[in-house]
Amino acid sequence: MNKAISRIFVVGVVLFVALVVNLTWIMVVRAGWFYDRPENKRSIAKELKIRRGELLGFDGSVIAGSLRRSGYYYRDYPQGTLAPQLLGYDSVRYGRSGVEQELNDVLTGTATDLGVQSWIDRLLGRKPKGADVKLTLVPAVQKTAQQQLTGLKGAIVALDPKTGALIASASAPSYDPTTVEDDWARLRVDAASPLLNRATQGLYAPGSAFKVVTAAGGLDYGKVTPTTEFVDTGTYVVFGGKVTNYGGAVFGANDFTTALTYSINTTFAKVGNLLARKRLEASMQHFGFYQTPPLPLPRGEVAPSGRYGKRGLLAPDAFMDPLAVAWAACGQEKVLATPLQMALAAAGVANGGRIMKPYYLQQVTSAAGDVVQKARPEQWLVAMKPATASALNTMMQRVVNQGTGVSAALKGIQVAGKTGTAERGDGTNLAWFVAFAPAADPTVALAVVIEDTQSTGGEVAAPIAAAVLKSALAQPALP
């Protein structure tokens, strides 16, 4: 009997040795691997013990504060939730998104460029302290933008054309980052995608708002002038197909300025074919299409605009027949653009043809109180010649003064803009308005898109643009 008992004991010993070997494997050999798994939120949770830097608006007010409760820091939003899709959430369970993710090392004080004091702290092994980030977002304008989108689906992006600073970025429907953990299950399956940042990720057919790009190309390549004459019969037959006007309208004789003013498709289709595929796509590239706008956000949170096929973004030299070129020149066919891209296009016209790099970070103040980083506006692209920009500026003023965009007009301030209405084929429209103001010396450029509407861009998007422009131009200071 003792022999059998001893054998069973040996089996027990073997099992226990296996436990220790496995434990060593987990705790020593694979420890780092486990720590780095994306499912492992321990690193995020540990950061809760660090005072997370605050996100401030351009006016210095706190947008996302850091509140201390029983040893842990929590995000607090004293002004309500402003731009939650852009600023993002910071959740132990579900990770981070947006600016919270992009600037995490700054906000947790672990970035390497936070000044001498942070180096000394690190050398002494002290707990890091988060640095505060002042954003270019102007809370008052942001609030206006969000109010304008109440009950709607869509996005608004407003920026300073001279610097590229983001003034407002709204996306609706929205969510509350303070309750994101509780709401997660619902938010994830919500067909309206409240977590999606429509401003930078939403890809929409730009419709006639895209005519700004086509016009810039036509003028820049010398294919047309603002006074070039065209004749519209309501239909432009090309390559076995036809291009028609919105609502079946017939305009007769029109010059190029009039064509933009009333958004005449047949004229822009002709201009598209005057440019031909190569130059049309070159113009798009000059505006930043086919590349991801350099707004620093986590991977995937800024989408490139361009022509999209079934498997995503097409190459700029993908085949197009003349009918496709004609429709693409009117912002239809396979062309998709984000509100950010369209705002940048408007900003390009506003800024004499030069598009500045979009940014949202105004300055970083370390925990020690030193300004360790400051925004330096940089040029991104040259979209067109200054003369072209100037001509297009005048043409876009006409849109607001007597064309499809009259409801964007502001008292005492000259607004320049372009409407867009993309029919989705299911009875609903995408309504666009891109604009800048004051036209003579623009300080704000924006793009508005409204989904699932029965109205046109001039009817629904233009008044919203006017309200946001008005709010922005009433501010004492803009970035």
Position 54, amino acid: E
Residue 1 or 191: the one with the smaller Cβ distance to other proteins is 1
Residue 34 or 239: the one with the smaller Cβ distance to other proteins is 34
Site string for other proteins, 1-40 (x = CB under 8 A): xxxxxxxxx--xx-xx-xxx-xxx-xxx-xx--xx-x-xx
Does residue number 127 form part of the binding site for other proteins (CB under 8 A)?
no
Among 48, 196, 276, 413, binds other proteins (CB under 8 A): 48
Rounded Cα distance between 396 and 391, Å, is: 9
- Tell the smallest beta-carbon distance from residue 123 to other proteins (Å): 22
For residue 76, give both structure tokens: 């607090």
Does residue number 42 form part of the binding site for other proteins (CB under 8 A)?
yes
State how far Cα 329 lies from the chain centre: 23
Site string for other proteins, 262-291 (x = CB under 8 A): ------------------------------
Residue 72 or 119: the one with the smaller Cβ distance to other proteins is 72
| Segment interacting with other proteins (CB under 8 A) among 69-77, 163-171, 335-343, 401-409 | 69-77
Identify the CA nearest to 330 among candidates 430, 449, 212: 212
331 three-class SS:
coil
- Tell the smallest beta-carbon distance from residue 197 to other proteins (Å): 22
Does residue number 239 form part of the binding site for other proteins (CB under 8 A)?
no
- Tell the smallest beta-carbon distance from residue 464 to other proteins (Å): 38
345 three-class SS:
helix
- Tell the smallest beta-carbon distance from residue 187 to other proteins (Å): 14
Does residue number 69 form part of the binding site for other proteins (CB under 8 A)?
yes
- Tell the smallest beta-carbon distance from residue 65 to other proteins (Å): 16
Residue 39 or 426: the one with the smaller Cβ distance to other proteins is 39
HSE at residue 33, side-chain half, CA atoms within 13 A, is 6
Identify the CA nearest to 109 among candidates 370, 375, 362, 296: 370
Residue pointed to by tokens 């709204």:
170
| Segment interacting with other proteins (CB under 8 A) among 41-49, 192-200, 268-276, 359-367 | 41-49
Site residues for other proteins, 245-264, by CB under 8 A, read: none
Residue pointed to by tokens 């005072």:
51
- Tell the smallest beta-carbon distance from residue 64 to other proteins (Å): 17
Helix (H) or strand (E) holding 231: strand 229-232
Residue 22 or 454: the one with the smaller Cβ distance to other proteins is 22
Angle between helices 322-329 and 265-286 (to 10 degrees): 90
Identify the CA nearest to 360 among candidates 97, 86, 149, 177: 86
Question: With contacts defined by CB under 8 A, how many residues of the chain interact with other proteins?
Answer: 39
- Hey, what long-range contacts does 223-229 have (CB within 8 A, 24 or more apart)? 223/271, 223/274, 223/275, 223/279, 224/256, 224/271, 224/274, 225/256, 225/391, 226/255, 226/256, 226/257, 226/391, 226/394, 226/395, 227/255, 227/256, 227/257, 228/255, 228/256, 229/253, 229/254, 229/255
Among 61, 70, 98, 151, binds other proteins (CB under 8 A): 70
Among 81, 83, 87, 92, binds other proteins (CB under 8 A): 92
- Tell the smallest beta-carbon distance from residue 130 to other proteins (Å): 16
Residue 127 or 376: the one with the smaller Cβ distance to other proteins is 127
Rounded Cα distance between 17 and 122, Å, is: 40
For residue 116, give both structure tokens: 């001498």
Does residue number 74 form part of the binding site for other proteins (CB under 8 A)?
yes
Residue 77 or 184: the one with the smaller Cβ distance to other proteins is 184
Residue 15 or 253: the one with the smaller Cβ distance to other proteins is 15
Residue 181 or 229: the one with the smaller Cβ distance to other proteins is 181
40-65 exposure pattern, b = at least 16 Cβ within 10 A, e = fewer:
eeeebeebeebbbbbbbbbeeebbbb
Interface with other proteins (CB under 8 A): 1-9, 12-13, 15-16, 18-20, 22-24, 26-28, 30-31, 34-35, 37, 39-40, 42, 45-46, 48, 69-72, 74, 92
